[in-house]
């Protein structure tokens, strides 16, 4: 799922100011939420060694999170850290 500047805000999002898209109740239950977040120490790690793959950084950035409704629970299925932003 992708969102564009013209994506309508969905009424059934609990936080309409941050929700950029949600599937209608008749479609697959997913929602995309976008907001400014403190992404300090959001690092990728090597699964084999456990060592960080990148240097520590301090930043506030836009984060887009895709949620899926699974067995009555909203689970994060994708997280994308975008450009820096001001909260």
Instruction: List, as one string, the DSSP characters of 31-82.
Output: EEEEEEEE-TT---B-TTT--BSS-----EEEEEEEEEEETTEEEEEEEEEE
Is the pLDDT assigned to residue 70 strictly greater than 80? yes
In angstroms, the CA 23 to CA 30 distance is 6
pTM as predicted: 0.56
The pLDDT tens digits of the residues spanning 3-36 come to 333 333 333 444 445 555 555 555 668 999 999 9
């Amino acid at each position: 799922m992708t969102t564009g500047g013209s994506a309508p805000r969905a009424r059934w999002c609990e936080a309409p100011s941050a929700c950029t898209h949600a599937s209608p109740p008749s479609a697959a239950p997913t929602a995309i939420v976008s907001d400014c977040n403190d992404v300090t120490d959001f690092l990728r790690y090597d699964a084999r060694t456990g060592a960080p793959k990148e240097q520590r950084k301090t930043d506030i950035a836009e984060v887009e999170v895709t949620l899926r409704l699974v067995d009555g629970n909203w689970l994060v299925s994708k997280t994308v850290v975008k450009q820096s932003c001001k909260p």
